[in-house]
Amino acid sequence: METIIFYRLTQIFRAIPHPEQRGQFKATTQEYSYRLLGGAKENTEILAYHWHPHDPGVKFPHLHLKDSPRIHFPTSRVCLEDFVWLLIRDFQIKPRLKDEEWKEILARNKRAFEKMATWKVQNP
C-alpha cells in the first residue's frame, strides 16, 4: 500500500505597530502547529512541531514523534520555512516550482523572518 503524506499547518499571529518604521506593521507569532501525517489514513501523525505558550502545560517549542506522542521533545523555535524544507528534503514532497525558484523564495522569506524575529531560530 502506498504511503500518503498530508500536512496541516496552523500559525496564529497578530499585527502590531512596527518598532522602527512609523506607520508600518509587524506580524508577531502567537503560536504554531506544523503537523506531518501519513500512512493509509490522514489522521496518523508522523511528527508535529508545536509552540503554544498561552495554553496550560508545556509552554516551550517542542516536537512530538509518532512512536512517543506524549513526550514533548524540546526544540528551538521552528519557522514555517524550515518545516517546508523538511518536507521537501526528507519526505520527498515535490514543489510545483523549479528548484531555484522555491529555494530562493524560502531563503528570502526565512531571511526576512530572522531579521524581524524577537527570539531567534537556531538553524538546523
Domain residues for 104? Answer: 4-116
Q: Is 123 part of any domain? A: no
Check residue 118 and give its pLDDT.
Answer: 80
Q: Is 122 part of any domain? A: no
Q: Is 111 part of any domain? A: yes
CB 10 within 8 A of CB 1: no
Check residue 106 and give its pLDDT.
Answer: 96
Q: Is 74 part of any domain? A: yes
Residue 28 has pLDDT above 90, yes or no: no
104: helix, strand or coil:
helix
Q: What is the mean pLDDT of residues 53-74?
A: 91
Dihedrals phi, psi of 114, to nearest 5 degrees = -65, -35
Q: Is 105 part of any domain? A: yes
pLDDT confidence band for 63 (50 / 70 / 90): very high
Contacts of 64 (CB under 8 A, 6+ apart): 45, 47, 48, 50, 71, 72, 73
Number of domains observed in the structure of the chain: 1
